[in-house]
Structure 1
Amino acid sequence: MSSLRAKIQDVFNEPACEQNRGKDAKARKEGCSKPLTPGAAAGGCAFDGAKIVLQPITDVAHLIHAPLACEGNSWDNRGAASSGPTLWRTSFTTDLTELDVVMGQGERKLFKAIREIKEAYGPPAIFVYPTCVTALIGDDIEAVCTRAAEKFGLPVVPVNAPGFVGSKNLGNKLAGEALLEHVIGTVEPDDAGPYDINILGEFNLSGEFWLVKPLLDRLGIRVRACIPGDARYLDIACAHRARAAMMVCSTALINLARKMEQRWDIPFFEGSFYGITDTSEALRQISQLLVKKGADPEILGRTEALIADEEAIAWKKLTAYRPRLEGKRVLLNTGGVKSWSVVHALMEIGIEIVGTSVKKSTVEDKERIKQILKDDNHIFEQMAARELYAMLSEHKADIMLSGGRTQFIALKAKTPWLDINQERQHPYAGYDGMVELVRQVDLAIHNPIWRQVREPAPWDCPAAVREELPSTKSETATLHAVQEFAGTTADDFGEC
């Protein structure tokens, strides 16, 4: 546990974070997240955050050393996609019971589980996650993993991020520490080149990265490792030979990017693949970093040619949507990098942003929002469900973009809603992704169902309107059925 405390303190002291550098020594030790209330998930624990970062590594077996419920609550918690291996979709757990805890059988059971996975599936590596229970009873996960690696001849990686140590964001960073300590740099590639890059903090949600990778391929840029989206263990092990890196979600893996720059001289920048302008700027910065690291400067010209072609195609496709969406008002209830990248993307086609949350956003994210919106009144840290409902029911927004947790607020307010978080079904990254995002917003706003649900029910309308309604047999029968279900009669409906 002493080594875990040291890792946590090291993660809290993040030199690459401007907000962290501005704190005094005491405040820096407390980290960026609010302390958790005992017994409360608080939006996700450290174990959940570690699984989010590492589970998309698709050919690895992810073994949870804990009672069954820990894995059941965290499995498949993101809509990441794989282009090949499916082992990451298989749930492995030691299923620790009360008897195992009392009899001290946890470490023995873990070693046995590692052996069974190796024999049955033969993965290139096994990641082992302790949780609150196994950390509290003192199971020596690192010792078991070291012994199993020697015995079975494959990497067995301990991921020390039990839930009680902190928030989901802390678990993200502890997962990055596990990769640095046990994975990255353990294999030397024989094909390293001047156009190799890493993409950090990209989760390939709904296959989004597959819309970006072809652009890089056309420039001759190879993604040495995308961490963690659609990743392979061997790619991550060789990631230290990349020439440059792009950070997509700094709140999750800023520590990984900084330490890779320190150890292997891999410069990085933070960018976004949401929106036409941001996608173009990301491609430019990648090319510029590669040139600084020794690549042929001719790549800069090819990048500008690619950007010109792709922007022309995307804007032509978006022309049809501008008259239908220009002036429409959007409420964005999300956080992190999406709090500014999606804002910029939507404003490019004339959509008005009436509010955006900055929950889980860094200081840099908030500064970008201020520069884009030029008005602090549209920025809120967190809005209560009651306030969201009031804003939507008063028609201050034409659509809300958020995660699944708040969709029913919009539906109750009879307002269009679009999923923008990890559970979404459509990819929104890159040029094609921007067109898809605008298309989905257009479909949601102009769906005829909203006009219908906002109309009064036949039995609630004035008598004069009721007389004009068609009185088919089926509609009459439906009305009687509703009355019977509600325990009412026709006289209870007054004028209607």
Structure 2
Amino acid sequence: MSSLRAKIQDVFNEPACEQNRDKDAKARKKGCSKPLTPGAAAGGCAFDGAKIVLQPITDVAHLIHAPLACEGNSWDNRGAASSGPTLWRTSFTTDLTELDVVMGQGERKLFKAIREIKEAYGPPAIFVYPTCVTALIGDDIEAVCKRAAEKFGLAVVPVNAPGFVGSKNLGNKLAGEALLEHVIGTVEPDDAGPYDINILGEFNLSGEFWLVKPLLDRLGIRVRACIPGDARYFDIACAHRAQAAMMVCSTALINLARKMEQRWGIPFFEGSFYGITDTSEALRQISQLLVKKGADPEILGRTEALIAEEEAIAWKKLAGYRPRLEGKRVLLNTGGVKSWSVVHALMEIGIEVVGTSVKKSTVEDKERIKQILKDDNHIFEQMAAPELYAMLSEHKADILLSGGRTQFVALKAKTPWLDINQERQHPYAGYDGMVELVRQIDLAIQNPIWCQVREPAPWDCQPAVREELPRTKSETVTLHAVQEFSGTTAPDFGEC
């Protein structure tokens, strides 16, 4: 536990974080995690965050040393995609019971589970995740992993991020520490070249990195390791021989990028593959970093030629959507890199952004948003469901872009909604991804269902007044009897 405390303090004292540098020494030790409100959703624990970062490593077995519920609640919580191995989709857990805890059988059961995975699947590595229960009872995970690695001849990596130590974001960073300590640099590649790069914080959601990688391939740039999206253990182990790196989500893995620069001299920058302009700028910066590291300067010219060609194709495809979407108002309820990159992408085609959330954004993210929107009134830290509903029901936005948690708020307000978070079904990165994003927004806004659901219900409409024919005395008596039964009026039999 003492080593875990040291890692947490090291993660909190992050020199590459501008917000952290502005704090005093006392405030720096507290990190960026906000105190939790009892009874409120915390947005995920440290174990959850570590699992999010590491599970997309597709050929690794991910073993949860915990009671069954810990794995059941965290399995497959990201829509990452794999181009090959599917082992990461298999759920492994030691399934500790109360009897195991009382009798001290946790470490023995963990060792046995590692052996069974080795014999049944033969993975290149097994990642072991302790959770709150196994951390509190004192199971020595690192010792068991070390012994198993020696015994079975494969990498067994302890990911020491039990849930109680902090938030999901802290777990992201602890996962990066585990890669630095046990994986990266453990294998020397025999094919290192001057055009090798790493992509950090890219999760390949819905396979969207596959829209970007062909662009890099055309420039002769090889992705040595994409961490963690569609990654392989061997690629990550060789990641220290890359020449440059691009940080996609600094909130998650800024510590990994900084320490790789310190240890192996791999320069990095933070960029985005969302939107035409940002994708082009990311390609330029990658090429420029490679040239600074010794690559042939001719790659700069080839990069500009590729950008000009791809931008022309993308703008031509988008031309048909501009008349239909120009002036439409979008409310963006997300965070992180999407809080500014998607904003910029939408504004490029004339869509008005009436608000964007910055709940999970860094100081750098917020500064970018201010530069793009030129108005702080469109930036909000977080918006509660009632406020969000009020804004949508008053028709201040034509569509809501958010995660699945707030989709029902939009539907209740009879407002189109599009999933922009990890559960999305369509890739939005790169030039083709931008075209797909605009197409999906157009489909959502122009869907004829919204005209129908906004119309008054038939039972709310006043029926047309029609002239009634005179009733006979028997018909009048029957009508009075019916009204008396229904309680609508008092009977009057005076004329009968």
TM-score, normalization by structure 2: 0.94
Greater shift, 468-477 or 3-12, is seen at 468-477
Greater shift, 34-43 or 399-408, is seen at 34-43
State the distance in 1 between where 2:90 and 2:495 align: 60
Deviation string, structure 1 residues 85-131 (Cα, Å, up to 9, x no partner): 00000000000000000000000000000000000000000000000
Q: Which runs of 4+ in 1 moved over 4 A?
A: 37-41, 465-496
> How do residues 242-281 of structure 1 correspond to structure 2 at under 5 angstroms?
242-281=242-281
Q: 1:10, CA displacement in angstroms?
A: 0.1
Q: 3-state SS of the aligned residue for 1:490?
A: coil
The 1:394–1:39 alpha-carbon spacing in structure 2 relative to 1, beyond 3 Å, is closer
8 Å Cα contact 1:36/1:166 also seen in 2: no
Q: 3-state SS of the aligned residue for 1:492?
A: coil
State the distance in 1 between where 2:282 and 2:477 align: 60
8 Å Cα contact 2:200/2:227 also seen in 1: yes
| 1:490 equivalenced with 2:490 (yes/no) | yes
Q: 1:456, CA displacement in angstroms?
A: 1.1
Unaligned runs of 5+ in 1: none
**Structure with max Cα Rg:** 2
8 Å Cα contact 1:78/1:422 also seen in 2: yes
The 1:324–1:81 alpha-carbon spacing in structure 2 relative to 1, beyond 3 Å, is same
Q: 3-state SS of the aligned residue for 1:467?
A: coil
Percent of pairs with identical residues:
95
The 1:455–1:159 alpha-carbon spacing in structure 2 relative to 1, beyond 3 Å, is same
Q: 1:487, CA displacement in angstroms?
A: 15
Q: 1:469, CA displacement in angstroms?
A: 23
Q: 1:458, CA displacement in angstroms?
A: 1.4
Unaligned runs of 5+ in 2: none
The 1:392–1:468 alpha-carbon spacing in structure 2 relative to 1, beyond 3 Å, is farther
8 Å Cα contact 2:131/2:163 also seen in 1: yes
1:339 maps to what in 2? 339
The 1:491–1:47 alpha-carbon spacing in structure 2 relative to 1, beyond 3 Å, is farther
The 1:475–1:163 alpha-carbon spacing in structure 2 relative to 1, beyond 3 Å, is farther
8 Å Cα contact 1:211/1:433 also seen in 2: yes
Q: 1:460, CA displacement in angstroms?
A: 1.2
Deviation string, structure 1 residues 262-304 (Cα, Å, up to 9, x no partner): 0000000000000000000000000000000000000000000
| 1:203 equivalenced with 2:218 (yes/no) | no
8 Å Cα contact 2:484/2:491 also seen in 1: no
State the distance in 2 between where 1:473 and 1:65 align: 84
Q: 1:340, CA displacement in angstroms?
A: 0.1
The 1:210–1:489 alpha-carbon spacing in structure 2 relative to 1, beyond 3 Å, is farther
8 Å Cα contact 1:35/1:166 also seen in 2: no
8 Å Cα contact 1:321/1:442 also seen in 2: yes
> How do residues 176-325 of structure 1 correspond to structure 2 at under 5 angstroms?
176-325=176-325
8 Å Cα contact 1:458/1:466 also seen in 2: no
The 1:136–1:399 alpha-carbon spacing in structure 2 relative to 1, beyond 3 Å, is same
State the distance in 2 between where 1:91 and 1:59 align: 13
Q: 1:492, CA displacement in angstroms?
A: 22
8 Å Cα contact 2:20/2:28 also seen in 1: yes
State the distance in 2 between where 1:436 and 1:341 align: 15
Greater shift, 475-484 or 12-21, is seen at 475-484
State the distance in 1 between where 2:86 and 2:433 align: 25
Q: 1:483, CA displacement in angstroms?
A: 18
State the distance in 2 between where 1:210 and 1:494 align: 85
Greater shift, 189-198 or 467-476, is seen at 467-476
The 1:143–1:458 alpha-carbon spacing in structure 2 relative to 1, beyond 3 Å, is same
State the distance in 2 between where 1:268 and 1:495 align: 96
State the distance in 1 between where 2:244 and 2:464 align: 71
Q: 1:464, CA displacement in angstroms?
A: 3.7
The 1:185–1:462 alpha-carbon spacing in structure 2 relative to 1, beyond 3 Å, is same
1:424 maps to what in 2? 424
Greater shift, 470-479 or 315-324, is seen at 470-479
Deviation string, structure 1 residues 297-334 (Cα, Å, up to 9, x no partner): 00000000000000000000000000000000000000
State the distance in 1 between where 2:233 and 2:119 align: 18
8 Å Cα contact 1:314/1:432 also seen in 2: yes
8 Å Cα contact 2:46/2:165 also seen in 1: yes
Q: 1:459, CA displacement in angstroms?
A: 1.6
State the distance in 1 between where 2:46 and 2:319 align: 44
8 Å Cα contact 1:227/1:236 also seen in 2: yes
Q: 1:193, CA displacement in angstroms?
A: 0.1
Deviation string, structure 1 residues 323-348 (Cα, Å, up to 9, x no partner): 00000000000000000000000000
8 Å Cα contact 1:76/1:89 also seen in 2: yes
Greater shift, 86-95 or 34-43, is seen at 34-43
TM-score, normalization by structure 1: 0.94
Q: 1:461, CA displacement in angstroms?
A: 1.2
Q: Aligned-residue CA RMSD in angstroms?
A: 5.5
8 Å Cα contact 1:36/1:167 also seen in 2: no
State the distance in 1 between where 2:476 and 2:186 align: 74
Q: 1:231, CA displacement in angstroms?
A: 0.1
The 1:323–1:385 alpha-carbon spacing in structure 2 relative to 1, beyond 3 Å, is same
Q: 1:35, CA displacement in angstroms?
A: 2.8
The 1:145–1:398 alpha-carbon spacing in structure 2 relative to 1, beyond 3 Å, is same
Q: 1:462, CA displacement in angstroms?
A: 2.4
> How do residues 19-418 of structure 1 correspond to structure 2 at under 5 angstroms?
19-37=19-37, 41-418=41-418
The 1:338–1:228 alpha-carbon spacing in structure 2 relative to 1, beyond 3 Å, is same
State the distance in 1 between where 2:465 and 2:381 align: 45
Q: 1:36, CA displacement in angstroms?
A: 3.5
